Structure 1
Amino acid sequence: MKILLVGEYSRLHNSLKEGLEALGHQVTLVASGDGFKNFSADIKLVSIIKNSLFLNFINKVFIRVFNIDFIKIENAYRFKKVLPKLHQFDVVQLINEDSLNIYPKHQIKLLKQLKSQNKSLFLLCCGDDYLTTKYFLEQNPRYSILTPFLKDQSLKNKFNYSLKYITKPYKTLHYYIFSTIKGVIATDLDYHIPMQNESRYLGLIPNPINIDSISPIPLKFNDKIIIFHGVNKLSKIKKGNSYFEKALEIINSKYGDKVIIKTTENLPYNTYIKSYNSAHIVLDQIYAFDQGYNALEAMCKGKVVFTGAEKEWLEYYNLEEDTVAINALPDVDYLVKKLEWLINNPKQIEVISNNAIAFIKAQHHYIDIAKKYVDTWNKA
């Protein structure tokens, strides 16, 4: 098949592309690189405004004063310019409902043209969108990425990206996309749960991890346990990083002679993926039922990851608690106890490390996942 993947935020589409190509399919990925993360793409739509300190500052002024975002206008121009090349694909898959980061009314026009010159359009549910945002706001799950906002609505400005999806323009974009796609696929349980009653929902396909390019790293236990905490400042509140920070302060004061704590901020993807190679423990995110992409790649390397590993996830994969990953909860005392358990029981780190590697190979192998996508597309 000839396949077009549109958008990239986590390396999901890159890994899927590698799996599909291993199966003999022809794949093109068009994406922006997602800012500082700088993900690769076959057709890269890089914003000059976003990458210029001066132009970006001017753009922020226009957004604040006139509510005009020139980056979105530039993105529309750049996508429109490459659109004539994006034709005769058997499958086109959007990374999410705002995969182009363009004003909704312009995005609808461009998606109409994209759909008209290709066969089938599919959508991923792997981040913020209309249905998941609506679900998190209305159904009150135990927690979600919107929990900090629901607890303190003075944080609303920090959640503009998520909350935009329930505004009228993005709701219109959502209904247009759902009227034209063959179906929507969720990539983990945080998105599977909100999607279950939707007629267009095709099911959960776990994130693909390229186990051939991300090899396990044998753990070395010398004098100290190394704990890694990588922070994306743009999503820090949504991911609950402050709980990790407070827990690490306590751990450092109690076990400063036994641990090394390494914290980074806003690293490009290729730097980030190497930055925790020596770590034994990786702190990922709090407000999740399932693992996101960073957690899965760290697990593939054999790290003990504090991430989403809720009972729904344990039941789905038939696992026992604390065997593959550590469920990270919004509770500092709980996080400290779990970290203490591992610091004082390094053998347990080895056990979980080996289980994590086996789990990724069994459930997230990029070629096996690519086969599931092909089967799902064909059935739809």
Structure 2
Amino acid sequence: MRILLVGEFSRLHNSLKEGLLKLGHEVVIVSNGDGFKNYPSDYSNRAFWCESKLGNLPRQLIYRISKFDISKIERGLRFYFLLKKLKGFDCVQLINEAPIQTTSKFELYLLKKLFKQNHKFFLLCSGVDYIILNHMLEKKERYSIMNPYFEGKKEIKEQYKWMFDFNSKTHIKIHKFLLKNINGIIASDLDYVNPLKDNPKFLGMIPNPVNISNVNYIENPIEGKIVIFLGINIGNSYSKGIHLFKEALEIIKQKYADKVEVIVTRNIPYQEYIKLFNKAHIVLDQIYAYDQGYNALEAMAKGKVVFTGAEKEFEDYYNLTEKVAVNALPNVENLVTELSYLIENPNEIQAIGIRARAFVEKEHNYVKVAEKYLKAWEN
């Protein structure tokens, strides 16, 4: 089967590609590399000129005047010139409703072109889109990544502006076009199941794939200080609950100054990020979630104790009786309590890390997950 994967978030499509290649399929990824993370792509529509030293100056000037990012146009144009190479695929999967990340009108035009020259199409729900946004705005869950928006000041709400693009008139046209023309929708984790469960094209949830052959378990005994790692993407820090992690870390640093080392990074490329968190015992990932995304799973596969989404719904779905991750609740006192317990009981860090690796091997093996995708696409 010839498969085209359009767009990339958190290395999901790259890991899926590796599983599909193992199964003997031909796979092509086209994406912009997910911004500063710069994930690999076979064909790139990254805004190279706008992101260069020469192009960034006019880009910033235009943005200050008009609040419009011209890199969107460059991404769209680069995708347009790739279209002749993106035809004749048996199956095309979009990472979300706006996988090209250009302007909404240009996005719809390019998607229509793509649909005309290929066969089956599937939509992956792996983040915010029209359905997810409206589900969160209606406050149908105990909490969501919108919590800081509902509770926040003006500067916090600024960080959420991009989400409301999915509610714009021009994007709703994309949503309706996709809903009419796709063969099915797949959720990448449990956070997206409830918003989609009544949609007639929903095919179910398929866990995030992790290439465990490339992610080695790290023997990292606690011989000195316990290392806690927090990697910050400034653009979505509030929706990840980073402000709560930072508050908790300030308390922990004072409480256990002689027992912990804290590493905090901001907007660094994936390869640098990996090098730094490899030495960590505890990784702080995200708060407003019920299940894990790819970053958390990769850390778990390395034997880290990860603070992330690990709610009862997650434990029930996988029939877990012991912790494989720490459920990070939106409560600083709770975060401090959980961190304190691990610092005072370092053997538990090792035990959770071993279980975390075993869990990822069993439930997120990239080849087994690729088989689930194939079954969904073929049926």
TM-score (norm 1): 0.96
TM-score (norm 2): 0.97
1:48 aligns with 2:48: yes
Aligned length: 378
Instruction: Return 326-335 or 51-60, whichever deviates more.
Output: 51-60
Aligned-residue offset at 1:68: 4.1
Q: Which residue of structure 1 aligns with residue 96 of structure 2? A: 96
Aligned-residue offset at 1:135: 0.2
Counterpart Cα distance in 1 of 2:366 and 2:340: 34
Counterpart Cα distance in 1 of 2:171 and 2:60: 21
SS at match of 1:69: coil
Counterpart Cα distance in 1 of 2:77 and 2:190: 35
Amino acid in the other structure paired with 1:11: R
Deviation by residue 1:238-269 (Cα, 9 ceiling, x = unmatched): 10111111111111111111111111111111
Counterpart Cα distance in 1 of 2:153 and 2:259: 39
Instruction: Return 154-163 or 31-40, whichever deviates more.
Output: 154-163
Q: State the percentage of identical aligned residues.
A: 48
Q: 1:172 to 1:332 in 2, by over 3 A?
A: same
SS at match of 1:261: strand
Deviation by residue 1:296-327 (Cα, 9 ceiling, x = unmatched): 00000000000001111111111136x10000
Matches within 5 A, 1:309-348: 309-320=310-321, 323-348=323-348
Q: 1:320 to 1:153 in 2, by over 3 A?
A: farther
SS at match of 1:215: coil
Q: Which residue of structure 2 aligns with residue 279 of structure 1? A: 280
Q: Which residue of structure 2 aligns with residue 189 of structure 1? A: 190
Aligned-residue offset at 1:153: 5.8
Deviation by residue 1:334-362 (Cα, 9 ceiling, x = unmatched): 11111111111111111111110010011
Counterpart Cα distance in 2 of 1:295 and 1:280: 13
Counterpart Cα distance in 2 of 1:252 and 1:90: 54
SS at match of 1:367: helix
Q: Which residue of structure 2 aligns with residue 180 of structure 1? A: 181
Aligned-residue offset at 1:124: 0.5
SS at match of 2:160: helix
Matches within 5 A, 1:218-233: 218-233=219-234
Instruction: Return 275-284 or 155-164, whichever deviates more.
Output: 155-164
Q: Which residue of structure 2 aligns with residue 364 of structure 1? A: 364
Counterpart Cα distance in 2 of 1:253 and 1:5: 47
Matches within 5 A, 1:24-63: 24-53=24-53, 55-63=55-63
Matches within 5 A, 1:137-216: 137-152=137-152, 154=154, 155-216=156-217
> Would the aligned equivalents of 2:89 and 2:118 in 1 still touch at CA under 8 Å?
yes
Q: Which residue of structure 2 aligns with residue 244 of structure 1? A: 245
Amino acid in the other structure paired with 1:216: Y
Aligned-residue offset at 1:67: 5.1
Counterpart Cα distance in 2 of 1:247 and 1:152: 18
SS at match of 1:272: helix
> Would the aligned equivalents of 2:196 and 2:202 in 1 still touch at CA under 8 Å?
yes
Amino acid in the other structure paired with 2:269: P
Amino acid in the other structure paired with 1:30: V
Counterpart Cα distance in 2 of 1:231 and 1:60: 22
Deviation by residue 1:87-129 (Cα, 9 ceiling, x = unmatched): 1100011111110011222211211111111111111000110
Q: 1:60 to 1:175 in 2, by over 3 A?
A: farther
Amino acid in the other structure paired with 2:288: Y
Amino acid in the other structure paired with 1:356: A
Counterpart Cα distance in 2 of 1:213 and 1:239: 26
Q: Which residue of structure 2 aligns with residue 3 of structure 1? A: 3
Instruction: Return 30-39 or 370-379, whichever deviates more.
Output: 30-39
Q: 1:170 to 1:43 in 2, by over 3 A?
A: same
SS at match of 1:282: strand
Deviation by residue 1:129-167 (Cα, 9 ceiling, x = unmatched): 000000000134211111111112623321012111111
> Would the aligned equivalents of 2:45 and 2:76 in 1 still touch at CA under 8 Å?
no
Counterpart Cα distance in 1 of 2:309 and 2:320: 13
> Would the aligned equivalents of 2:308 and 2:327 in 1 still touch at CA under 8 Å?
yes
Q: Which residue of structure 2 aligns with residue 122 of structure 1? A: 122
Counterpart Cα distance in 1 of 2:199 and 2:62: 38
1:253 aligns with 2:257: no
Amino acid in the other structure paired with 1:183: G
Counterpart Cα distance in 2 of 1:64 and 1:276: 35
Q: Which residue of structure 1 aligns with residue 307 of structure 2? A: 306
Amino acid in the other structure paired with 1:28: V
Q: Which residue of structure 2 aligns with residue 291 of structure 1? A: 292
Q: Which residue of structure 2 aligns with residue 134 of structure 1? A: 134
Counterpart Cα distance in 1 of 2:49 and 2:150: 33
Amino acid in the other structure paired with 1:229: L
Give unpaired runs (5+ residues) of structure 2: none
Deviation by residue 1:27-56 (Cα, 9 ceiling, x = unmatched): 000111122111001111221343124533
SS at match of 2:150: helix
Q: 1:21 to 1:100 in 2, by over 3 A?
A: same
Counterpart Cα distance in 2 of 1:48 and 1:335: 40
1:21 aligns with 2:21: yes
